[in-house]
Amino acid sequence: MQLARKVIDRQTSALALPISKPESRLYMSFLSIAFISLFIGGLMGLLQVFVRTGKFTLPFGIDYYQVLTVHGVILGLVLTTYFIIGFHFSLMGKTVGISDKQRKIAWIAFWIMVIGTILTATMILLGEASVLYTFYAPLRAHPVFYIGLALVVVGSWIAGFVNWHQLAVWKKAHPGEKSPLLAFMVTINTILWFIASLGVAVAVLIQFIPWSLGFAETINVLVSRTLFWYFGHPLVYFWLLPAYMAWYAIIPKIIGGKLFSDSLARMSFVLFLFFSIPVGFHHQLTEPGIDPTWKFIQVVLTFMVVIPSLMTAFSMFATFEITGRRKGAKGLFGWLKKLPWKDVRFLAPFIGMVAFIPGGAGGIINASHQMNAVVHNTIWVTGHFHLTVATTVMLTFFGISYWLIPHLRGRKLTPKINRLGIIQAIVWAVGMSIMSGAMHIQGLLGGPRRSSYSEYAGGDQVTEWIGYQMAQAIGGTILFVGILLMVYIFIKLTFFAPKGEEEFPIAEEEENAEATPAYFENWKLWIGITVVLILAAYTIPFIDIIQHSPAGSVPFDFPIGR
């Protein structure tokens, strides 16, 4: 019986469906918006680091905070969400399939998101929504900005519902079989996104839109920030888990190996679902009005995320070593030589994995109550953010693009594009190391975040920051070269690469791996535990916040007094 179950497991993991041209157009539409956003957001980032040197002034009366808002929203929300949804759809289409009706609904999701994105971007570009990526109250944006955000979230929900329906249809047609690993992972990530984005949806619909329309004179700032960070921290894992999907189930195939353990991969994703949502207070450790006991509880839950992260590290390096030794590697680290370092599909994500080591260490500092007090409002946090999301996640997304785009477009990843991709990955890594490193050091010296260049009345401490701000401009310039290279590669792979077939790499599980337990398909259990953890972490403190909050704040429009 167990042997038969293992056979079914491997047959399921090896299942790969063809992707039709209508499907390809859907997936590529999401990816195209993502790469357009990469260029626009990257350009805004370049302007930012120039301004922070004190040697450059934005032309045409453009405000620094307007540029900062574009950079954060376009890269942090638009690029990531569109790429992830396009990637999700491609994984589901490849493993469980998509019907014509499901595809039509997915297009509805796409256009709702596009309309929302256009509305939001227009308000920012018109200078009516310079409220930064976090859109903290009491800064007030134009109502259309919040309406646009709401549409993007609603569109993403519809896309998630399509993913869930795809899996439900597959399971009905395959009773008793475990779901394909990648479909399981996509389902976990969409559940995480839906539960987390409920927080920002409530804030936007109930607080921000009525307030911005003038129906409410004041806004409860602490409630709005709590709802944002209920969403804001799991958002990071919504970005990260697609990278983990590639690490677990795709990279092994690329290096000529196999998935170390299907069960371990599924358990790590379940644990990320448990421990990534009820931890928003660790972003509010310096926020008055929240009982320290509840901050402590959520910090403890935050550290629990280390467990699935270490599980992932163990699984990946076990895969690397087993694969290398099968290829004849000798000695303690001889397997490293057997890895395909000249294959950009492996190299770019691997650099991202390495970057996650110092990025994760910085996250531990950010989540520690005492150390957070030192770095909280400094540019250290910005450096951490760029090291994790803009390096670990983005380089993995780039690595995915090198095989996904040609596969969807019926083209080939040529040796020339592969070499250019390796150059791009190295350029990105060098630029980010310089920029993020300078941000971390300047943060330890007290350099603030969220601020334009200022001499702060000639204070002595400020002179210590200038050199690091220059380094950030140098690193940012190198990074922008990397962005231009990646956009060029995207265009090349989409329109000009030679016609052909590129593999959609999905790894099979090791033959001697333990069979995956049936309880992983118990979605009621996983969702139920998640809801219990959220209620335990938020119910009492949220009631306390509402009951004892200070008077609401009147709006501040930016620029102040416009």
Active site residues: 233, 237, 384-386, 449-450
Can you tell me which residue has the tokens 């190996």?
257
Q: What does the alpha-carbon distance between residue 407 and residue 18 come to, in Å, rounded to a whole number? A: 10
Residue pair 56/131 in contact (Cβ under 8 Å)? The answer is no
The secondary structure of 21-55 as a DSSP string is: HHHHHHHHHHHHHHHHHHHHHHHHHHHHHHHTTTS
Q: How far apart are CA 360 and CA 116, in angstroms?
A: 33
Is residue 347 within 8 Å of 402, Cβ to Cβ? no
Tokens standing for residue 353: 């994995």
What is the CA angle 253-341-431, rounded to 5?
115
Which residue in the block uniquely carries the two structure tokens 């499901």?
A: 102
Q: How do the residues of the chain divide into helix, strand and coil, expressed in percent and rounded to 5?
A: 75, 0, 25
CB burial of residue 178 (10 Å; 0-12, 13-18, 19+): buried
> What is the DSSP track for 307-335?
HHHHHHHHHHHHHHHHHHHHTT--SSSGG
Q: What are phi and psi of 411, to 5 degrees?
A: -130, 180
> Considering only CA atoms, which of 269, 262, 185, 256 is closest in space to residue 512?
262
d(C-alpha 367, C-alpha 363), whole Å: 6
Cβ atoms 315, 248 nearer than 8 A? yes
Is the alpha carbon torsion for 73, 383, 317, 398 positive or negative?
Answer: positive
d(CA 415, CA 222): 54
- What's the rounded Cα separation, in Å, for the pair 549 and 305? 30
Alpha-carbon distance of 363 to 232, in angstroms, equals 14
